[in-house]
A = this chain, B = another copy of it.
Amino acid sequence: MTDYFKSIDAMTVFSSEKAAKVEAFIGQHLFVGLNCFETGQSQKSHIHPGSDKFYLVLSGKASMIVGDQTREVEAGTVVWAPADVPHGVAKARERTVMLVAIAPPPGRIGA
């Protein structure tokens, strides 16, 4: 049986190798998960063709880029990355956890 309720704290993981990704839930139309950064880690600028995405910073601080905008973000910032607009995390300035949602989920476009 699907458990419809999950705790962010119980899902959070970090890796000294690179920013860690966690899948929380995935459906036909929507993916939700976590991106977890140690201080100094980054996420290369990239696009999701045909998928809208947002991040919500849950803890920490980071420098983020969407399109031609760069901002210092912290807990409580929502970051919108619409389909086909490049986005990434230039640098986590502290240990940082972000919730991330992507629709349609990667690999399910047109499914």
Q: Are A30 and B5 in contact, CB atoms less than 8 angstroms apart?
A: no
A69 interface hit (Cβ, 8 Å): yes
Known contacts being A52-B29, A83-B27, is A67 close to B101, with CB within 8 Å?
no
Q: Are B29 and A78 in contact, CB atoms less than 8 angstroms apart?
A: no
A56 interface hit (Cβ, 8 Å): yes
A64-89 contacts to B (CB < 8 Å): 64, 66-67, 69, 71, 73, 76-83, 85, 87
What are 9 inter-chain pairs, A to B, with CB distance below 8 A? Answer: A3-B69, A4-B79, A25-B82, A27-B83, A28-B52, A29-B51, A32-B54, A101-B103, A103-B104
19 further A-B contacts with Cβ under 8 Å, apart from A30-B101, A32-B54, are: A2-B80, A2-B82, A4-B69, A4-B80, A4-B87, A5-B69, A5-B71, A5-B73, A6-B78, A8-B56, A8-B77, A9-B76, A24-B54, A25-B54, A27-B83, A30-B54, A32-B80, A54-B101, A99-B99
